[in-house]
Amino acid sequence: MFAVQGFSFGGGGQNTGVIFVNLKDWSERKSPDLHADAIAGRAMAGLSQIKDAFVFAFVPPPIPELGLSAGLPFS
């Protein structure tokens, strides 16, 4: 996990932050419930219970020009 306090994609300030989480290698996450989208969905459900914060969990877009046609999928 890599956290940056005071910065977010929506702006900066004392009450903002962003966290990047490294997942296990794809070879260790063969089950569909361990794909990045499924993990982000469960994180979003759990983090939405925080009453005094807006927390979003999402999968970043594919890296442009790294795949054969549409980049590298993060599954």
pLDDT tens per residue across span 17-74: 888 898 899 899 899 999 989 999 999 999 999 998 888 888 877 776 655 555 555 5
Residues β-bridged to residue 3: 19
Q: Delineate the domains of the chain, giving CATH numbers in brackets.
A: 1-75 (3.30.70.1430)
Q: How many CA atoms lie within 13 A of 25 on its CB side?
A: 2
pLDDT tens per residue across span 4-16: 888 877 777 788 8
pTM for the full model?
0.68
CB atoms within 10 A of CB 73: 14
In 3D space, the residue among 58, 20, 60, 55 whose CA is nearest the CA of residue 39 turns out to be 58
Rounded Cα–Cα distance for residues 44 and 28 (Å): 22
